[in-house]
A and B are shown apart, each in its own frame.
Chain A
Amino acid sequence: MPEPAGITTDQVAHLARLSRLALADDELEALAAQLGVILGAVAQIGEVTDAADVPPTTHAVPVENVVRPDVVRPSLPPAAVLAGAPEAEDGRFRVPQILEDEDVEDSA
């Protein structure tokens, strides 16, 4: 069981890194304080003892096996695909230098 409520600025900083959010120091502190309060309220979810043997909800309406046939349909025209791109080059999306090489493959 994790410690109840309360969240440190370090924890918030870690979560901000995980979710790629650049936060200023004062934002970090304010966020930690607010989240502490919110967590205090939502942590009461742990009080529900009769939840132990209950299955978690998968879907509001029980539907299974929704599939589509393996048929090709037209794609978006590349002009439309790149239209909203902050930066494009040679028909591809251009991004600045990537630092992390998680799961990366060599070019083409």
Chain B
Amino acid sequence: MSTDLTRRTAAETAAAIAGREVSAVEVAQAHLDRIAAVDDRLHAFLHVDSEGALAQAARVDAGEVAGPLAGVPLALKDVLCTEGVPTTVGSKMLEGWRPPYDATVTARLKAAGVVILGKTNMDEFAMGSSTEHSAYGPTHNPWDLTRIPGGSGGGSAAAVAAYEAPLAVGTDTGGSIRQPAAVTGTIGVKPTYGGVSRYGLVAFSSSLDQAGPCARTVLDAALLHAVIAGHDPADSTSIDAPVPPVVEAARQGASGEGLAGLRVGVVRELSGEGYATGVQERFDEAVELLRGLGAEVREVSCPHFGYALAAYYLIAPSEASSNLARFDGVRYGLRVGDDGSRSLEEVTALTRGRGFGAEVKRRIVLGTYALSSGYYDAYYGQAQKVRTLITRDFTSAFEQVDVLVSPAAPTVAFPLGDKLADPLAMYRQDLATIPSNLYGGPAMSLPCGLSDGLPVGLQIMAPTMRDELLYRVGAAFEAARPAPVPPLSWES
């Protein structure tokens, strides 16, 4: 275990605090100092809440709140509401907005004694794959500051990768936890849809959004998953069933018993064209490693996965165009142009024109189109049918295998600015991650090596409600191939 408090895992930190070897306040301070030292170059954080963090840490030290993660610092993606603390969703539309309530995820973290250090940067309204669409400037990848950290949750992933926090919570609609995890060499999990409450999660695409854990180890991710997941009566779409035994599975996977008896399916459609050579090579090696651990590996075809991107980029913008209608300058957020000479309609249009960035506007217009009379059946309606076919691909695949695997992202981290001129190229970052969102099944990205010195992610996908399978397989893989450590040469 490292003497540097910021290099420890969440599990190690929790144990040290519980064993009174170190105080929660010390741990919190160490991380706040780390943020102060490096975040000027990373820009992972939009808001650091030192006061709140230290107060929570003090509560843990006073024994007022306890739990498996008590005293462990965490970075929270700025899409989740935190009462009294700015929540911008990466947009000018909500600059300075302080929610009058906590998201359920936030409340559960606080009740568990987790120390929320602050809110992390993200693509505006969770729309993007590089965090370059943040209205507050991009986050930089700790592996190479000239490169993107992935998106939309680049801030959370970068914070974890750069030891600003051992844990983070992100949200994943089309890959926004997993793809950043892949390109930053960290672990990111999208739970089964409905596994984690969406109450207080500023909605992008309601039928796809899901909050999940980001960490540096599989066990850490499992511990966090167990804290935030579970039924919430305030979210009608949340699953009323026990949280899958993720922590137990992580421990089991790491126990060395191997993966004998596990059937692994390599998805034919999620490889080959569109996937960088280095990524494909690391993935193929990862598959071999799984075989070496005793898993039975075969190729599986999911014939409709090729349409997943199209279905997603019809369903998600459609739901988003409706979800974002509430931002009209009336009740909260930005208001522009109200000089007494304009109507409300004009003020709303100006506010939205100024408050939303280009990518958000693109998706609102696209979504409005896909839902409009005369186009609904061909676009939104058709996409929801294709979604059913994709779901059927998953269910029949899971009749043959226990988990599916693929690369988590088609490329390694690309340079900032590289794909801004070509929205479609950016959208293709989500090729491998989107199918799970459409199906609702859980999926994990974990590090499986480097290509040209940059991290590559292995994606594991499991059937709905079987999140524990990710952790068993992930932990076993991790034990056999520990994650590469970032050089962080820019620090000195």
Residues of A within 8 A of B (CB): 1-2, 7, 11-12, 15-23, 27, 31, 34-35, 37-39, 41-48, 50-52, 54-57, 59-61, 63, 66, 68, 76, 80-81, 83-87, 93, 95-100
Contacts and interface: CB of A to CB of B under 8 A. Distances in A.
Contacts of B19: none
Contact of A21 (B364, B379, B439): B364
A105 to B, nearest CB: 16
A3 B409 CA distance: 33
A94 to B, nearest CB: 9
Sort chain B's interface into a size bin: 35 or more
Contact of A48 (B192, B307, B345): B307
Interface in B343-400: 343-350, 352-354, 356, 361-362, 364-366, 368-369, 372, 374-375, 378-379, 381-389, 391
Interface stretch (B68-76, B114-122, B165-173, B322-330): B322-330
Contacts of B333: 84, 86
B335 A87 contact: yes
B307 A93 contact: no
A20 B345 contact: yes
Contact of B194 (A44, A56, A63, A93): A63
A98 B332 CA distance: 18
Given A44-B310, A45-B379, A96-B347, A86 B329 contact: yes
Given A16-B365, A37-B424, A41-B313, A84 B98 contact: yes
A44 B424 CA distance: 14
B242 interface: no
Contacts of A86: 329-330, 332-335, 338
Contact of A45 (B193, B233, B314, B342): B314
Given A20-B348, A22-B346, A96-B338, 9 more contacts: A7-B369, A18-B372, A19-B352, A31-B361, A38-B423, A45-B386, A48-B386, A59-B237, A85-B331
Contact of A42 (B343, B379, B381): B379
B261 interface: no
State the main secondary structure of chain B at its contact with A. helix
Contacts of B309: 41-42
Contact of A68 (B233, B338, B423, B424): B233
B212 interface: no
B272 interface: no
B304 interface: yes
A58 to B, nearest CB: 8
B100 A19 contact: no
A48 B305 CA distance: 11
Contacts of B349: 16-17, 20-22
A19 to B, nearest CB: 5
A21 B439 CA distance: 32
Contacts of A95: 330, 344, 347
Nearest to B345: A99
B211 interface: no
B100 A1 contact: no
B109 interface: no
8 contacts: A22-B350, A27-B361, A42-B314, A51-B388, A52-B385, A81-B100, A98-B344, A98-B345
Given A63-B237, A81-B100, A97-B343, A56 B385 contact: yes
Contacts of B340: 96
Residue among A11, A18, A48, A63 having the largest count of chain B Cβ atoms under 10 Å: A48
Interface in B303-323: 304, 307, 309-311, 313-314, 321
Contact of B423 (A17, A34, A46, A98): A34
Contacts of B464: 60-61
Nearest to A99: B343
Nearest to A86: B335
B440 interface: yes
A105 B236 CA distance: 32
B375 A2 contact: yes
Nearest to B440: A60
A44 B312 CA distance: 12
A18 B325 CA distance: 10
Nearest to A18: B368
